[in-house]
Structure 1
Amino acid sequence: MLQRPQQPKRWTAFFADTTALILFFTTTGIINERFIAGMTWDQVLHARLLGAALMIPVARPYGIWRDWLMRRASQGRASRLLWDSIALVSFQVPIYAAIIAFSGASGVGLVRGTLGAALMMLFLGRPYGAFLNGIRRVFGLPPGGDKPMSLDS
């Protein structure tokens, strides 16, 4: 009888992707909210708490989205940078805009914060992708993009 290769556990992938997203984007979120959007420290705290709560249900879907898009990337550095950035901006910027709007950013601050996040995510796409793959390695999972983990993994 042929056995299927051992697939990563679904919960392990969930915890790895969630850990990576919370660690990486709590730090970058604080920088953007305080120094680019001009939010008060109370608003930043509210945004980070809300952000952490929202990262839990979206981290794994983002990981799956990123893995799916990264299959289009070649092994070249520029291609991986481009596809990681596209994945991050297209998935996370709309969520981020809602978080800071709900946390008190409005008008020019909301626009600056959203544009600031979009620019940051363009530049942070590949560093975050590498960080995510590193966290996945720590959890004993394969990196994403080459052999994507599916919903039933």
Structure 2
Amino acid sequence: MEFVAVALIAAFAAFVQSSVGFGYALVFAPIASFLIAPSEAIAVSIASSTVINTLLYAEYRPRTDIKAVAALTAASVLATPIGLYALLVADEDLLRLFIASGVFLSAAVNLRHPSREGPPRPDRIVLQLIVGALAGAIRGAVSMGGPPVILYQHWI
């Protein structure tokens, strides 16, 4: 029964992501951690969102400026193992706190500045590397690498 409930949560989170382009982990991880251990919810979220994001990439690729996000993406991928290590050693209550913080931070930023995305800024490569590394580590730890990227897009 637990499997069915988690699958339904995943389906709902996938629907949200396919509708608005982001949000899978923001929906899946908090709800699933009520049914299964946070570390399990995070692992399932990372694995399933990788499949979903790969499918969405095929849809968005023609409209994406790969060069504008290359540094951010590379840093994120390289830093993800740091977050995965944190996932293995962190206390479950601390993981729940980080999951909730990620949801509230993302919601607050999006409510305050719904769409303030500017043109790519190649002169900010160092900042992109820092934000990407932070996003990767957070994604590995709690499956929500979006908040640092959202802050970067809205305020930088």
TM-score (norm 2): 0.28
Indicate the structure (1 or 2) with the bigger Cα radius of gyration. 1
Flag the structure with higher helix content.
2
Larger RCO (alpha carbons 8 Å, 6+ apart): 1
